[in-house]
Structure 1
Amino acid sequence: MPALNETCIEYENYAAAFHPPASLGPLQLPFQRPIQACRTFTSAVINQVVDTVSSKMKNLDLARLFTNAFPNTLDTTISQTACITAHSLKCLPLSFIITGDIDAMWLRDSANQVMPYMDYLNQDISLKRLVLGTIYMQAHFISIDPYANAFRPPSDIAQWALQHQPPMNEHMFHSPGSLPQVFEYKWEIDSLASFISLSYQYWQTTSDSSFIESPLWLNAVETILDTVEKEQQPTFDPKNGKPPHSQHQFLNGRGQPIKYTGMVRSLFRPSDDACVFTFYVPGNAMLSVELAHLSQMISSTNGVMAAKAKKISDAIRTGIYQYAVVDVPNYGKVFAFEVDGYGSQLIMDDANVPSLMSLPIHGFVSQDDPIYQNTRKLVLSRDNPYYFEGPFMAGVGGPHIGLNYAWPMSQIVRLMTSDSDEEIQGALEWILNSTSGTGLIHESVNIYVDEGNSRYTRSWFAWANGLFGQAILKLAKERPHLIFSN
């Protein structure tokens, strides 16, 4: 991490303790931002947003939760930054961002961690460089191995980057554990989709297209297209080379057999749990949207690559509607969570994003789409085997933590995909009461236990905190009457 005051406490421990002053609401939530000397990145613009928004909020506990959560990525997870001279650029920024209490950088998590600050990049050049540096760092990692989902921190980010310049058009796929840079080797298509999403949102927000012609970024994009095209291929095809091996899947790392559908095989979900059927539908939906965005970004500079991205995007979307829309009693047509193309279907949802409930957030369907509404109704019911509700929490969980643990992230997604003031207020109440007095968003919360070590998992989980901040800012724009005083 950046050089911090030697008295700084490890944030995992800091986050689990109470720090005054308490909020003036009934929950009396602590102030969990580190002191200035212990913050890993400072943005005056973001600090101003925190102060302005929180000062208007009528619920003082909710204001404190926003104050703690929205800047959490900047306050605690910016491990290393550097500016190197490479690729004919005066400065190529790099940002290594840890996920929180795990000292590694996930492609998906790091993209989502900086996404809430996107609207403010044009007001803060350092923040803009931080996000661009995240894009370049991810491009490095994807070029090293597109099948890995998380990477270790280099001892010196600038020196490491200069030693790992990927050769164009040479994509080497490795066996698990063969590269020291890889922290976790799990093939998750949403990791690659998140890289494209971050690139696209940055491009849309800043109008900065410099990275699009960078050899590093182009190499990562070409690697992605080659990889997802390969993973569209069916299991039983003599022309198909072996897909990536994994220590956590059967059939020599292939997962359950699949037939060709146009969708892309994913061996793992964003929870890092193994898929049952390897056409993971929410991940494919997100990938389809982001490949269309990619095609838009590069249409004027690389027509061949743009056409390939659009072709794969269209094939995925067609495959989802042909193979993953199913009839469920009492709900009608819904999106399945996972399928195999042979007719097998897994009906459930998981809390991690992308999920079936988050499909409108990614732009795959409109919020009022009938199939989505049917799916959402099922997801938020007992007919989803991973929907839990108890006296202390309610929401979607998943097998990653286990039974009776609901994830606040699912309630955040719920309010971000709702048109009902009543439903949004209910979700806010669950979220606000899920912190167990820590004033931070956790990974999961025990629906029956509100004391002891088993009440929640992860005192420090930056992605969920950032997503909550994003949700509050969405409400501030679209439904200010729900959170602001008159």
Structure 2
Amino acid sequence: MTIPSSSSSCPDYAEYAKVFHGPASSGPLKLPFQRPIEACRTFTSKVIDQVVDFVASKIVNADLARLFTNTFPNTLDTTVSQTACLTNQTNSCHPLTFLITGDINAMWLRDSVNQLMPYLNYIQQDYSLKRLFLGTIYMQAHFISIDPYANAFHPPDNIQQWSTMQTPNPYQHQGLSPGSVPQVYEYKWEIDSLASFFSLSFQYWQTTQDRSFVDSPIWMNAVEKTIDLLRNEQHGTFDPNTGKVLPVDERFSQTTDRPTETQFQDGRGQPIKQTGMIRTLFRPSDDACVFPFFVPGNAMMSVELDHINQLIHDKNATLADQASQLSKDIREAIFKYAVVDLPDHGKVFAYEVDGYGAQLIMDDANVPSLLSLPLLGFVPMDDPIYQNTRRLVLSKGNPYYYQGPNMAGIGGPHVPLNYAWPMSQIVRIMTSTDDTEIKESLDLLLRSTDGTGLIHESINVFETPNGKESYSRSWFAWANGLFGQAIIRLSNEKPHLLT
């Protein structure tokens, strides 16, 4: 492993990613080679480079092999912004890792976890890669201790200042406006951000059997703050006895010309009835929820609370039991309040609900999504309610499903209408056992790059705007890595689709 020092001679990858770099692939699309030169890569792992070469050599389609080569290592190549590994009182390493999302110079809790996940199965073969994961766990624990409602954070001026094993003085969130705390990049309360922190901690432990971080007061403080927050956000809008409005810790309101960037009712969101689910104000797209019970995020949190129960039970049985009860409450509430019987589709999961009977029937491409429920571990792929939901969200029954000559897939309010996210086709692959469907998605993804050889945030399904790219975001590491992850899975489970 090497982490090159920053160099002014290295180009801005957001611009680098837009233009052709040779040699071209030998396939009909002639896709460029978009990995930075080695001196400009932000993290180099020989193990991952070997995986790239081996898997690409097994892919007959030269364009598909090139797309995999460009995308799978993209997080390591371009987004490892800062790292530190200082010794603590016991002379052991306390690592920290700051990952940017790509063309946005900030670290999202959700994105950074998903950016790393493609490399999880290789961390036992590369100690530095393993330390990168552990450093992300600690970095996120620090962030959550500052403010568990925040979803994204600025790069630290000096990452070594964070490298202490002492429990930080936690910032007490009191619903302050965006920008109130200098470390916070965005104050949007997204339930999946905290679920992602739990997921990374659990999957790292399952893969390595290393749970040294559980003994860290910083990590345990973050878990305690998360459990406290979730229990606090389980109540409804009104006191069931007096009818008075209950206080909330989290509000988000700002002046904006985009309704998705602010919230109803002076920042507290639409009224909700207590159900057992957790109130959240924003989706993983960073767009405002219409109804504050965001179902995919609650489903993910239910799964991860059970994982945290397993991880900490012999360390803090009381906290573990609270996590287990929350997990059960959420799951039962989803099946009670968020399953809808539609005339044309049967029983499906709603995207958002309020507990009073209002339901939002749609899906957004960002994970967690309804399409991704089996990947989250909430239901098996053959669950009948999920299968009905899957058919719905991948059809015109979903108002954000688009289909045109350039692309097809699920979009969302975060981008213009008729812009589908390639991420939805990747998740379609990862939730399918049908060879024909998988091949169709691979073909769409190959044609979605606009000749750049990278996976973008979204793509215009009909036509290229005059003088503009047909896509949004030239550099989106999460989507690149997820595509690479899907190809790795196919190479293990369905290698005949790549040969």
TM-score bucket (shorter structure): over 0.9
How far residue 86 of structure 1 moved from its aligned partner, in angstroms, is 3.8
Superposition pairs of residues 73-472 of structure 1, within 5 angstroms: 73-86=75-88, 88=90, 90-162=92-164, 165-167=167-169, 171-173=172-174, 175-176=176-177, 177-237=179-239, 240-247=246-253, 248-450=262-464, 452-472=467-487
Assess if the C-alpha contact under 8 Å between 1:334 and 1:371 holds in 2. yes
How far residue 155 of structure 1 moved from its aligned partner, in angstroms, is 1.2
**Measured at CA, do residues 225 and 29 of structure 1 come closer, stay the same or move farther in structure 2, by a change above 3 Å?**
same
**Measured at CA, do residues 315 and 87 of structure 1 come closer, stay the same or move farther in structure 2, by a change above 3 Å?**
farther
**Measured at CA, do residues 340 and 299 of structure 1 come closer, stay the same or move farther in structure 2, by a change above 3 Å?**
same
How far residue 254 of structure 1 moved from its aligned partner, in angstroms, is 1.1
Unpaired runs of 5+ residues, structure 1, are none
How far residue 85 of structure 1 moved from its aligned partner, in angstroms, is 3.2
Alignment partners' CA distance in 2, 1:221 and 1:242: 20
Q: How many residues align?
A: 483
**Measured at CA, do residues 479 and 318 of structure 1 come closer, stay the same or move farther in structure 2, by a change above 3 Å?**
same
Alignment partners' CA distance in 1, 2:311 and 2:4: 33
Alignment partners' CA distance in 2, 1:453 and 1:299: 54
Alignment partners' CA distance in 1, 2:52 and 2:288: 38
RMSD of the TM alignment (CA)?
1.5
Find the residue that maps to 2:81 and give its secondary structure.
strand
CA displacement, residues 326-346 of structure 1 (integer Å, 9 cap, x when unaligned) = 011111000000000000000
CA displacement, residues 243-297 of structure 1 (integer Å, 9 cap, x when unaligned) = 3121211212210000111000110000000000010000000000000000010
How far residue 7 of structure 1 moved from its aligned partner, in angstroms, is 1.7
Assess if the C-alpha contact under 8 Å between 1:276 and 1:338 holds in 2. yes
Find the residue that maps to 1:236 and give its secondary structure.
coil
Alignment partners' CA distance in 2, 1:96 and 1:231: 29
**Measured at CA, do residues 87 and 225 of structure 1 come closer, stay the same or move farther in structure 2, by a change above 3 Å?**
farther
Letter in 2 for 1:475: L
More displaced, 441-450 or 117-126?
441-450
CA displacement, residues 390-446 of structure 1 (integer Å, 9 cap, x when unaligned) = 110100000100200000000000010001000000000001100000000000000
Assess if the C-alpha contact under 8 Å between 1:2 and 1:80 holds in 2. no
Q: Structure 1 residue aligned with 2:32, among 30, 33, 55?
A: 30
Assess if the C-alpha contact under 8 Å between 1:171 and 1:223 holds in 2. no
Assess if the C-alpha contact under 8 Å between 2:94 and 2:165 holds in 1. no
Assess if the C-alpha contact under 8 Å between 2:4 and 2:40 holds in 1. no
**Measured at CA, do residues 276 and 2 of structure 1 come closer, stay the same or move farther in structure 2, by a change above 3 Å?**
farther
Letter in 1 for 2:472: T
How far residue 361 of structure 1 moved from its aligned partner, in angstroms, is 0.2
Task: Give 2:256's aligned residue.
Answer: none
**Measured at CA, do residues 320 and 83 of structure 1 come closer, stay the same or move farther in structure 2, by a change above 3 Å?**
same
Structure 1 position 479 matched with structure 2 position 494: yes
Alignment partners' CA distance in 2, 1:208 and 1:321: 35
**Measured at CA, do residues 89 and 317 of structure 1 come closer, stay the same or move farther in structure 2, by a change above 3 Å?**
farther
Alignment partners' CA distance in 2, 1:272 and 1:421: 33
How far residue 231 of structure 1 moved from its aligned partner, in angstroms, is 0.7
Letter in 2 for 1:413: V
How far residue 299 of structure 1 moved from its aligned partner, in angstroms, is 1.2
Alignment partners' CA distance in 2, 1:454 and 1:54: 28
CA displacement, residues 295-339 of structure 1 (integer Å, 9 cap, x when unaligned) = 010111111111000000000000000000001111100000000
Alignment partners' CA distance in 1, 2:58 and 2:380: 31
Find the residue that maps to 2:248 and give its secondary structure.
coil
TM-score (norm 1): 0.97
More displaced, 441-450 or 234-243?
234-243
Alignment partners' CA distance in 2, 1:343 and 1:444: 32
How far residue 355 of structure 1 moved from its aligned partner, in angstroms, is 0.2
TM-score (norm 2): 0.94
Assess if the C-alpha contact under 8 Å between 1:2 and 1:78 holds in 2. no
Question: What percent identity do the matched residue pairs reach?
Answer: 65
Alignment partners' CA distance in 2, 1:219 and 1:281: 27
How far residue 42 of structure 1 moved from its aligned partner, in angstroms, is 0.4
Find the residue that maps to 2:27 and give its secondary structure.
coil
Alignment partners' CA distance in 2, 1:164 and 1:300: 22
Alignment partners' CA distance in 1, 2:447 and 2:6: 32
